[in-house]
Amino acid sequence: MPKSKPMVAVVTGATNGIGRATQKIFEANGIYTIVCDREPSDEDSYRFLDLSESKSVSECVHSLPKNIDMLINCAGIAPTPGNNSAVLQVNWFGTKSFTDAALKKIKPGGSVTTVASRAGAKWEQNIVELRQLAEASRYELANTLDIDSLTPARAYELSKELLIYWSMRQATTQESIRFNTVSPSSVETRLTPSFKEAFKSRRIQNSDLRRRTTTPEEIADVIWFLANPSSASINGIDLKVDQGITARRTLAELTQ
């Protein structure tokens, strides 16, 4: 009897942090994992991908096989002063355009799991704005928003709110591919200092509401849970991985 081929996963941002941890857990589970990143890798499956460049997105997707079981969107950049446009381009436009182009290569029954953030938790409150912005091109969004006037924290929040809203909408329109998002609170990666600086003015810090730092490996475990076929009934959710921060904040708001 011929040996069955391993399942195939594509992981963006897979050379560091959550993406790297995700690649490791997928390979530990027998998944052939294609590493897509703008930083170099020694992996044989490596593909160069710069989400800020449409040409790079097109070339990377063109190089992918036509039998993808799972797409994992981990690539993204942190908020820093002066990079609002880049945050929206990479985290939102780049991720969306890469996924849209790769859909034709994902098998029926496959899945798309995107790393969002607890920073996007208020997407429901901003649904009217998100409906408008989700349909806008990069240039239309720039004309609609005064992007440079946003704080770095708000630009990052908006990029993640858009990802959550878009993923849920995709879950309702794609007949054979599941879409879910994972929304971590603070995770200890090389980007952590930038996040702390961007959100330092917030009245309540998430670090005050959790007991310890979440690791990339913990987020990777959740990604694996959502992406693999045994979770076939889980579709269109935003799964927060935040050590109970959402519960504490929600109860505090409801009991004020």
Whether the pLDDT of residue 221 is over 90: the answer is yes
Stated pTM of the model? 0.91
Q: What is the pLDDT of residue 239?
A: 96
Using pLDDT thresholds of 50, 70 and 90, give the confidence band for residue 187: confident
124-155 pLDDT, tens digit per residue, is 999 999 999 999 988 888 888 889 899 999 99
Residue 44 identity:
D
Q: What is the pLDDT of residue 3?
A: 61
**Owner of token pair 């969107």:** 73
Using pLDDT thresholds of 50, 70 and 90, give the confidence band for residue 201: low
Q: Which of 143, 148, 156 is nearest to 115 (CA)?
A: 156
What average pLDDT does range 162-178 have in this prediction? Answer: 97
28-62 pLDDT, tens digit per residue, is 999 999 999 999 999 999 999 999 999 999 999 99
The b-or-e profile of 173-187 (16+ CB within 10 A means b, else e) is ebeebbbbbbbbbbb
Report how far Cα 82 is from the mean position of its chain's Cα atoms: 22
**Structural tokens at position 205:** 């810090």
Q: Where are the domains of the chain?
A: 8-254
28: Cβ–Cβ under 8 A, 6 or more apart, which residues? none
CATH architecture assigned to 8-254? 3-Layer(aba) Sandwich (3.40)
